[in-house]
Amino acid sequence: MNPEQSNEPQIGETEKKEVAPAVVAPENANPETPAKPNDLEATVVDVKEESAKKEESSDYAATDFMSRESVGKVMWKLTYPSLIAKVVSALYAVCDSMFIGKLAGETQDDRTIALAAVSLAMPLEQGIIHSLAMMVSNGGSTVFGQSIGEKDPEKGKRVVGNTFFMEIVVAVILAGVFSWFTKPLLKLVGATESQGKLDIGASYISTLFYGSITYCFYMSSSDLMRGQGAALLSCLISITAGLLNMIGDPFYIKVLGLGVRGAAVSTVVANLVSSIVGLSLLNSKKSVVRIGWSDLKPDPKLDGHILMTGMSGLVSGFAGAFVTIISNRLVLRYSPYPEDDVRTNAVIGAWGAMSKVYFISFLPLIALAQGVLPLLAYSSGAKLHKRFMDCSKLMFVWEMGITIVLELAILIFTPQIATIFSNEPRFIEFFVPALRIMVAPVFLQPLVMSLFPMLQAIGKGGLAGMLLGMKTCVIILVAQVVISMIMNDYWGAVYAYPVTEVLSALLAVYLFLKNKKSFYGVQELPVSAKP
């Protein structure tokens, strides 16, 4: 039977029947005085508008658990999927290097050269592709969470639409501009024609530039689902990307014989599938908003707010890449074995692998920060300051516990971790002691990693970006250069990490105390109102 001819009520028909003009009277109307036709029409319009508003915001009711349920329960709901996703992302982060170091070449020397080339290319992937995409996705997710706390579905739709619009712009720039300058960029980060490292690195990074739209959409769909409290679905998107990449790497590298380029192809394909999954979820009944083409219309003011809020993503990504570049340069500049290409390639490859393991050491902290951010943003938007602080305190406790466990595991199993990437003796000789020095002070990281989502949630994304920028770029770079010059050895770049962690922790404590009133909701009195 055609639904239009059915006598059964259709979806939304019940609400429409409740708005019957014959039974609605104007508010405060005198019952003895018949209502005028114009009054009835006006009342019908008002009731219809109110009904539409309720229907429009009904999906937002699904997010009310963030204010009703206990802080710990909400945090667990929001973060455990993110933690699972980050475990997969950890494997995702290392699998390219792992499979390249094991499969990309016929001999051990070939694989060492390939790993060194990709290590030199990785800062471009992190500093350009990842940082630009994350700036938009993180900013969009945070502002989206604020709109939910404010019970403003129209703003939420515009936030989602403008987030994807800006991701498209980013992808066009990456594929249409940066892809043409892969070799000059690689030379800038230290790659040379020696042993074909420049060509190998170019084949890897150019493929990622051309396929950057897949990463942009994957990141935004995942972050926006998490921003509305759908952490498990966000986790599903990330797991899809991670598993497909791990499965695809050996297939494209070895089976199809694509070598290093195969690792990049695997990444693009994995991101493509996960972005399709993410977009499908975001525009389904599982999402609190469904956008239309009109929501993609750029809003300069809103776009600026999203970009500023997500600035920490740009800063952290770029800073991490810049540090890796400088570290590689310092290795080349202060190497005691400048003429030993085998040892130099091994150390450069080790730097790339160490960077990924170091990233894994605080990946759970990022997961917790990202998972809790929707609750923090919601609490900030709803002016629930006590709930905001309860969440922040519990986040710090969780981060500290996880950090200590991970740190001990890495320190104990460092030799085994080294062999995951390469069996080259010179690689292992440098990797094991260097990684232990880098990881030893990471128990201080919760001070920074718990503060930056708090700053983001209250709309101080620029300050959050400054904090991460100081930790991941300014302090570490100054320390690396100064200590390397004093020691006249590339080990100075390694010893810079403990110094950085101590100074960054002190900065985080200072910024927390300075912004304490904003966190607790205590407002400064106007000068004229002060006693």
Q: In the 3-class helix/strand/coil scheme, how is 103-167 assigned residue by residue?
A: HCCCCHHHHHHHHHHHHHHHHHHHHHHHHHHHHHHHHHHHHHHHHHHCCCHHHHHHHHHHHHHHH
* Helix, strand, coil percentages in the chain from 3-state DSSP, rounded to 5: 80, 0, 20
User: What's the CA gap between 28 and 229, in Å, rounded?
Assistant: 41
User: What's the CA gap between 344 and 331, in Å, rounded?
Assistant: 8
Q: CB burial class (10 A; 0-12, 13-18, 19+) of residue 524? A: exposed
DSSP 287: S
- For 156, phi and psi rounded to 5 degrees? -60, -45
Domain residue extents for the chain: 65-515
Mean pLDDT, each 10-residue run in order, the chain (531 residues):
40 39 45 48 46 48 62 78 72 77 77 81 84 89 82 83 91 89 84 76 91 92 82 83 89 90 93 92 80 78 87 74 79 72 80 82 80 80 81 89 91 91 86 92 90 83 79 86 88 90 92 83 41 36
pLDDT of residue 63: 54
Residue 375 parent element (H or E): helix 363-381
User: What one-character-per-residue DSSP string does 307-348 give?
Assistant: HHHTHHHHHHHHHHHHHHHHHHHHHHHH-S-TT-HHHHHHHH
User: What one-character-per-residue DSSP string does 56-116 give?
Assistant: HHGGGGGGTHHHHS-HHHHHHHHHHHHHHHHHHHHHHHHHHHHHHHHHSSSSHHHHHHHHH
User: What's the CA gap between 224 and 165, in Å, rounded?
Assistant: 14
Of 265, 442, 426, residue with least CA distance to 335: 426
Q: Is 195 left (phi over 0), alpha (psi -120 to 50) or beta?
A: left
Are 40 and 32 in contact by the 8 Å Cβ rule? The answer is: no
- For 392, phi and psi rounded to 5 degrees? -65, -45
pLDDT of residue 145: 80
User: What's the CA gap between 523 and 381, in Å, rounded?
Assistant: 16
Sequence-ordered list of residues with C-beta below 8 angstroms from that of 324, at least 6 positions apart, any chain: 122, 123, 126, 351, 352, 355
What's the pTM value of the predicted model, to 2 decimals?
A: 0.66
Token pair listed for 214: 């897949």
Q: CB burial class (10 A; 0-12, 13-18, 19+) of residue 145? A: buried
Count of residues in the chain: 531
pLDDT of residue 215: 92
pLDDT of residue 242: 84
